Structure 1
Amino acid sequence: MRLELFKQDFKISQSAHQAHLVYRVYVPENLTEIEVQFQYGPIVETCKETIRKAVIREGLKESVIQDDTTVRNLLTVSINDPEGFCGAHHFFSENQTIQISEKEATEGFISGKIHEGFWEFIISCHGVFSDEVTGQITVFGVSLVNQTKKEESIPFKGLEFGQIVKDRSRNSLCEPIQVKRMELHSHTVHSDASQTTKELLAQAEKEEIDWLAITDHNTITALLEAEQHNQFNRQVQLLNGIEYTTFYGHFLVHGLRENIIIDWTKISKHNTNKVFERLKEKDVHITIAHPFDGGNPFCTGCRWEYMLENLKFVDAIEVWNSTNPHQSLSNEDAFHHWTQLLKQGYEIAASSGRDWHRLYPGEAIAYTYILVPQNETEEDLLQALKLGKSYISIRPEIDFIVNDFHCLGDRVEDESGELNLSIAINQLKGGDRFRIFSQSGLILEKELIGEYEWKEEFRLRNNGYSLLRIEVLNEAKERVAFTNPIYIHRTEEKG
């Protein structure tokens, strides 16, 4: 089966002389051959005035031009596959065909396996002496498999279990913690938002946000602007961030500025695991953004289509996205899959991001509330995010402690088989319901009738629980708050 992978007509002028035109094209798996059709013209330029201008441009004297003088335009094709250089065709011809397969290739090119990933097809303009040169390059792939219809992607399908165990230990001597309000996902006019950096910061101040991550698409220039303009006079602190907005999914990276910058155009379906691994070597925080959103053609690249081997290098999944997140079916899908990953044994955090592009007056806003030490630093914040020391809420305030001092994101060493729970929830409304879950499902539910504040302490027998987490539902049974887990390690009682 012959597939057209790419087609481009081009028109270049003399300004393209000695330039490279690079076309980076995704080549799918299961191809047995690549074929390139390349045409351009004119090859020979005979117009005396055009030749005269070319001669002068090159610093030569007009006396070199004779009655029969002509010049040749020379455009050549080079090819790189994801593994490296495949060859070049330095050849004068208006019509060229280049073929590469596992066993043979056109002269100038190296035969070999057709690797999945981004290939580069480079038109090198050795000589452009005509006023205008036109042409076309078309790339075909030959496949033994019918690839005419693209199957709908299912995020996180086919994962092999694998994770890096994080140190979640905490003792009662640790310094007291405090709760800070965060927004992890926001945009400015430096990408596709309608708000300037100054307007975003001003609104964040009004909303009493303590830490704001500006995560423009594939750029950090708004962060640079925010630091360079003292007139912003901001109280909100900035967390370095970026949203990598690729063809097959979006992901947020938070961390030191020099550690979060990569060339997003080099990310493809075949190298995502390696990209994540390299990023994590720099100790950044990685969140898969809105994985179950509608993708092409409705939201370009928004749906997560990458086939990850596992989630070893992923810190969080954005299960709430937008200002009123509990009313979104794609958020419900993400939340459900997060709880299924917890059930499978993944210790992965749930994240929330407004995906803040403009003001949304009158809508309910979900914030991330992060547990950090007093006088927290950016490093403290990143560490807390990686451990999931956070809860997400539209309204209620949650305080959840196990065995006197273990809080969200901690691991409890349970020797007795019984757990002491202390739960306090503020900002309640009539009809709110409190729920506590283990990795396997609902453990306890209680309606909080007419109570603005609710607090309770109770003992819970450990029936094989590896984690505990809390949700709050409103009168309409909409989820308005939820926590990341407190993890539990059951050990045998000594003696």
Structure 2
Amino acid sequence: MLKWIPSELHTHTLHSDGKQTLEELAQSAADLGLECIAMTDHNTQSALVDQERVQQQFGVPIISGMEWTTFYGHMLTLGVDRFIDWRVLGPDDIHEGIRQVHEQGGIAGLAHPFRIGSPICTGCFWEYTIQDWHEVDYIEVWSTLMPSIKRDSQRAFAMWTDLLNQGYRITAVSGRDWHVSKPDDALPAVTYLGIHGEAEEQESLVNRAVEAIRLGSVSVTMGPLLTMSAQINDSDKRYGIGECVELAVEDSLSVTVQLDVETRAAHYNLEPQNLRLLLTSGQGVCSETYIPAQSGEYTLSLQDPAGKGWVRAELYGYMEDCVTMIAFTNPMYIT
């Protein structure tokens, strides 16, 4: 059974340039209905000294991580407990850093790759040379508050789509880059992680959360949860987000998209309206329909699915006084 965990994967505390303690961060996360956070201070993991106590106190599992903050880019590392020294790596050496992250069983991702860089935000713009995108686990395609309307996030989303079209299987996530909580904050996005089975212990949930990102079992949203599954012909087997669907030329593929507007409903406002639901693929938009802003399932058939390469769901509508992309899933891959 797949359970979707609302998570925040990019946070900071007083141990770097944040304005909150780990306790305050965990309390704010619980207040927002988040069930998992990643601790990613700049170039330090010192806040994690209180990890176990804070997890137990607030009931919010914490993924150990760090944001490599360098002159050439910021890289998020998750699922690592031992410090990896970023200072010895030049602009052409990022794969050595990724290798050391993977050696610990962790994952590495690009943080806000198109954020304005120096001198406004030193190193925030990604300039490292990526020689093999297969080694990159994920990209933060939506960054900061109300990310879907931000130009840098739109550029990151387009880059991710281009990499999918080139055949790379890279997970897309959101990251609030959470430094402080204010009562008048704009709306943050949420990354839902699909984990299998019931995680009875927080450590087990954290490990499964990291694995969900590695496998691409991820959906990103400004509010409602958007998920999808697929079925070949009339078979009983269902494929989920991040999985690979093997098709013969004569096979048909039906995709069922699920919209859940009830989970975390107290933390966003989605007005009654008709929402635009798309299925997009390596060949562009392959299906489009309009659905009410309420929970439901919608099954769409794909024509000539074998040549699509990948397929994801996208949701558009009116939210926070603008028409924008509200949610998207990571793809299922078609071979």
Please indicate, yes or no, whether the TM-score normalized by the shorter chain is above 0.5: yes
User: 2-side partners of 1:273 and 1:226: how far apart?
Assistant: 29
Partner of 1:72: none
**Which residue pairs with 1:62 in the alignment?**
none
User: How many angstroms apart in 1 are the aligned matches of 2:112 and 2:21?
Assistant: 23
Match of 1:234 in 2: 58
**2:61, 2:143 → 1: CA distance?**
22
Structure 2 partner of 1:410: 243
Write the distance in 2 (CA, Å) between the matches of 1:458 and 1:479.
Answer: 20
> What displacement does 1:462 show?
2.7
**Larger mean Cα displacement after TM superposition, 469-478 or 295-304:** 469-478
- Which residue number corresponds to residue 210 of structure 2? 382
Any conservation in 1 of the 2:8–2:191 contact (CA below 8 Å)? Answer: yes
In structure 2, the residue matched to 1:217 is: 42
2:32 to 190, 196, 207: 207
Higher relative contact order (CA 8 A, sep 6+): 2
**Aligned partner letter, 2:243:** D
The answer on 1:178 being equivalent to 2:3 is: yes
Q: Deviations over 1:445-483 (max 9, x none)?
A: 2222x4422322243233411111011111343111011
SS at match of 1:395: coil
Q: Is the 8 A contact 2:134 2:168 kept in 1?
A: no
- The corresponding residue for 1:246 is 70
Q: Does 1:470 align with 2:303?
A: no
Contact map agreement 1:246 1:267 (CA 8 A) in 2: no
RMSD over aligned CA atoms reads 1.7
Residue 192 (structure 2) pairs with residue 369 (structure 1):
yes
Secondary structure in 2 matching 1:233: helix
Which of 454, 460, 465 matches 2:302? 460
1:444 aligns with 2:287: yes
Amino acid at match of 1:485: P
1:406 aligned counterpart, secondary structure: strand
Q: Distance in 2 between matches of 1:314 and 1:399?
A: 24
Q: Which amino acid aligns with 2:282?
A: Q
- Is residue 2:195 matched to residue 1:195? no
Residue number among 111, 119, 122 corresponding to 1:289 in the alignment: 111
Give deviations 1:2-25, integer Å, cap 9, x for gaps: xxxxxxxxxxxxxxxxxxxxxxxx
More helix by share: 2
Unpaired runs of 5+ residues, structure 2, are 232-236, 262-269
Query: How far off its partner does 1:413 sit?
Result: 1.6
| SS at structure 2 position matched to 1:361 | coil
Specify every segment of 5 or more residues in structure 1 that has no aligned partner in the other structure, as ranges: 1-175, 490-495
Which residue of 391, 394, 401 maps to 2:219? 391
Matches for 1:307-346 after TM superposition, within 5 Å: 307-346=129-168
Distance 2:190 2:113 in 1: 19
For 1:352 and 1:488, locate their aligned partners in 2 and report how far apart those are by CA, in whole Å. 24
* Secondary structure at 1:186 match in 2: coil
Contact (CA 8 Å) 2:174, 2:189: kept in 1 or not?
A: yes
**One-letter amino acid of the structure 2 residue matched with residue 432 of structure 1:** L
**Which of 231, 246, 254 is equivalent to 1:420?**
254
TM-score by length of 1: 0.60
The answer to whether the Cα contact below 8 Å between 1:392 and 1:482 also exists between their aligned partners in 2 is: yes
Counterpart of 2:239 in 1: which secondary structure?
coil
Shift of 1:314: 0.6
Q: Which amino acid aligns with 1:390?
A: V
Larger Rg: 1
For 1:112-158, what per-residue CA distance to the aligned partner results, in whole angstroms no more than 9, with x for missing partners?
xxxxxxxxxxxxxxxxxxxxxxxxxxxxxxxxxxxxxxxxxxxxxxx
Q: 1:180–1:370: 8 Å Cα contact kept in structure 2?
A: yes
* C-alpha deviation, 1:278, in angstroms: 2.9
Compute the displacement of 1:229 (Å). Answer: 5.8
Distance 2:210 2:295 in 1: 30
Q: Partners of 2:27 and 2:113 in 1: how far apart?
A: 30
Q: Aligned AA for 1:306?
A: Y
Aligned to 1:483: 329
CA distance in 1, matches of 2:182, 2:164: 33
| Shift in Å, 1:256 | 3.7
Q: 1:420 to 1:217 in 2, by over 3 A?
A: same
Opposite residue 399 of structure 1, the aligned amino acid is T
2:79 and 2:210 in contact (8 A); partners too = yes
TM-score, normalization by structure 2: 0.88
Task: Indicate if the aligned counterparts of 1:280 and 1:313 stay in contact, CA closer than 8 A.
Answer: no
Contact 2:6 2:35 in 1 (8 A): yes
CA contact (8 A) 2:278 2:288 kept: yes
Q: Using the alignment, how far apart are the partners of 2:300 and 2:174 within structure 1?
A: 29
Measured in 2, the distance between the counterparts of 1:397 and 1:447 equals 17
- Distance apart, 1:228 and its partner CA: 4.7
The aligned amino acid for 2:86 is: W
Question: How far does residue 272 in structure 1 lie from its aligned partner after superposition?
Answer: 1.6
